[in-house]
Structure 1
Amino acid sequence: MAARSLTATHLNLIEVANKTIDAVPPHSTTEARTTDHTCAAAALASDGRIFTGVNMFHYSTSLCAENTVLAKAAEAGVASAYSPGLARPTEESPVAEAEQRPAELVLMVAVLSEGRGVISPCGRCRQIMVDYHPGIEVLVLDSDTGDIKAVGIKDLLPYAWVPKKW
């Protein structure tokens, strides 16, 4: 999938991610700690729900904001390559619950605190997204041009190692 220009949906998801990190204290202080939350992510599901999360930095290991979002989406019944997900009845869908298709994640973005903007996912996040959501689109920062682009996760991690499903 070639990189695409941003749409209103993309811009809205960036705004949601920025509002998420802006709402998490503490903000910049003279005693900024490495344990402060510095990144937020937001993901859009095919049924319109948006999931958000922040990073959890710790000296022993860290949990990226994207992984927090993936866990929240799984908890809410969003389908992945490892889980069939749960169909959610909606007012707009008169189809019986057994006939409804579970939502899937279709778009992800991560932003840094203090207005530092969109960042591209790290290698670990890319691998997890390829494994769980191989069709997801990700908003990334093109470091050569400074533009934000929408790119398929498989384009961000070509020749990914894909484990056999257990």
Structure 2
Amino acid sequence: MHIPAAELTPADHELIAHARQIVDEHGDGAGRGVHTMGAAVRAADGRVYGGINLFHFTGGPCAELVALGHARASGARELTTIVAVGDGGRGPVGPCGRDRQILFDYHPGIRVLLPTPAGVRSVRVEDLLPLPTPWSSVD
């Protein structure tokens, strides 16, 4: 399957750097079996919001979901781009299936920065979920 991917813009590189700074400064410590992720999301007005996962043996909120919550709590409703970066120099990491579904449901036009065979690229969330199960909180 071919997924259309775009080259990164300077703003995309800044978003990656923001997520990397979050995980580097606030991570739980790579090498201890705790995998920390930092995330950054850009709103349509250019503001950037960050998040970090809360690692716990029962599961915990992913960094992307924390960043989405941070944006929402700050009043941002239209988000354009999101990225998650792993600790220990892992770089950008694609969102898990739950995150993809939530991104699709709440922000169907959002672009996701993730590794591809051609390097880190920008991909529409719709292309990550070609046959999604649409859901809405509004009946």
| 1:22-33 aligned within 5 A | 22-28=24-30, 32-33=32-33
1:160 counterpart (129, 132, 137): 132
Higher strand share: 2
Q: Secondary structure at the match of 2:92?
A: strand
Letter in 1 for 2:26: V
Letter in 2 for 1:149: R
Q: CA RMSD in A?
A: 1.6
Do residues 126 (structure 1) and 124 (structure 2) align? no
Letter in 2 for 1:48: G
* TM-score of the pair, normalised by structure 1: 0.77
Which runs of no fewer than 5 residues in structure 2 stay unpaired?
none
1:105 counterpart (52, 63, 79): 79
- In structure 2, relative to structure 1, the CA distance for the partners of 1:65 and 1:8 (3 Å cut) is same
| 1:13-162 aligned within 5 A | 13-28=15-30, 32-34=32-34, 38-79=36-77, 104-142=78-116, 144-145=117-118, 147-162=119-134
Asked if the contact 2:23/2:87 (under 8 Å) is kept, the reply is yes
| CA apart distance, 1:159 | 1.2
Higher helix share: 2
Query: Cα deviation per residue 1:108-143 (whole Å; 9 max; x = unaligned)?
Result: 00000011111000000000000000010000111x
Query: Cα deviation per residue 1:33-52 (whole Å; 9 max; x = unaligned)?
Result: 53xx6100000001111000
Asked if the contact 2:51/2:66 (under 8 Å) is kept, the reply is yes
- In structure 2, relative to structure 1, the CA distance for the partners of 1:61 and 1:28 (3 Å cut) is closer
| CA apart distance, 1:58 | 1.3
Task: Point out the structure with max Rg over C-alpha.
Answer: 1
Query: Cα deviation per residue 1:73-122 (whole Å; 9 max; x = unaligned)?
Result: 1111122xxxxxxxxxxxxxxxxxxxxxxxx1000000000111110000
| CA apart distance, 1:26 | 4.0
User: What percentage of residue pairs aligned between the two structures are identical?
Assistant: 39
In 2: Cα distance, 1:121 partner to 1:74 partner:
19
Letter in 1 for 2:87: S
Which runs of no fewer than 5 residues in structure 1 stay unpaired?
80-103
